[in-house]
Structure 1
């Protein structure tokens, strides 16, 4: 099993984000909406100075929400933001979780997200079944799918994904709550550098 220096925290250490960035190729891309969402979190917590610093580190100034950008740029932005904002949000993982939650809000507000919610029709099960396809509309890399462990529980598998578990805990919680799931529990663990699994339950 892969274990980072912050094994209990979902792999949020700065050095690990750098490892993930180095593993990315030019073909590994994410839509600009995720950059905008991250910058919204950064602006709310760190102000315009932090926004300018994160944009500069990422080398991205004008962002089109539907355009695909290198995920390595996104990882640079997130890593810088985590260092700047960590003290306010209980460290790297708190920042990553907040950004994952914001990513869900932004994706569900997009055309892709509205289609996903319409297909799910208020069903957490249908949402999780469709989530892999939704990811493929938002990013160019990776594989994601559920393994059912009960009527209201699942293990969600992510392969070759560049964001740490804490980030996707925020994503998955936000997605399930968006279709009316209550008492949502999400616990992620890193299996390898770019592989993670999430135990999900709700009512």
Structure 2
């Protein structure tokens, strides 16, 4: 389940029993990631920035050790998904105590990483996909996902009403709580009010999110 210092003195046996649903989900997805599965460097770099802002440089060094020790990431380059999930897990462990636990930390990371991405060079390059009304942002989401997840299985949006949709992910490695935080950041930036996002697993690497907001 990771290195002993990541458990704050708690035994590995106790941690295995008490791990949250979100952490068990991340561990399972990590076990399914192969060498062909990759993530853009912007996910790594933005996670570094989020952890630096909340916990300082020592924590950044800690999370990067989980991802093979690399220090610099090029936003549009592809890096192993396994490394990112390990970095994400460690980051959530470090932040969990101050935000309400592992799953809450994952949502915070999804939100902060997305906010950092939107202000990055890559985010500015493809900003047209993330601007406009909440509906426009969601209509562009499949194209944005294809750009950001080079080995992802795909994303589709089914509209259930003018401000209500279902987002369907296939073969996606990101934990639900992280995705919920990321969607929240995108949609709130687009002006969504009274936003509601509920995710559920539909398969080993598939999930769907019911999203609605006030016009």
**Coarse TM-score class (shorter-chain normalised):** 0.7 to 0.9
Give 1:91's aligned residue: 101
Q: Distance in 1 between matches of 2:116 and 2:71?
A: 19
The structure with the larger Rg is 2
Aligned with residue 133 of structure 1, among 114, 130, 143: 143
Q: Gaps (5+ residues) in structure 2? A: 1-16
**SS of structure 2 residue aligned to 1:12:** helix
Task: Please name the residue that 1:181 is paired with.
Answer: 192
CA distance in 2, matches of 1:191, 1:199: 13
Is 1:199 paired with 2:210? yes
Q: What is the aligned partner in structure 2 of residue 33 from structure 1? A: 42
Q: Taking structure 1 as the reference length, what is the TM-score of the superposition?
A: 0.86
Q: Which runs of no fewer than 5 residues in structure 1 stay unpaired?
A: none
* 1:153-197 per-position Cα deviation (integer Å, ceiling 9, x unaligned): 111111111111110111111111122222211111222231111
Q: Within the alignment, does 1:56 sit opposite 2:65 as a pair?
A: yes
The alignment yields a C-alpha RMSD, in angstroms, of 2.1
Q: Which residue of 2 aligns with 1:124?
A: 134
Structure with the greater relative contact order (CA < 8 A, sep ≥ 6): 1 or 2? 1
Aligned residues: 195
Name the CA distance, whole Å, in 2 between partners of 1:183 and 1:80.
Answer: 31
State the TM-score, normalized to the length of structure 2.
0.82
Residue pair 1:112, 1:137 contacting (<8 A) in 2 also: no
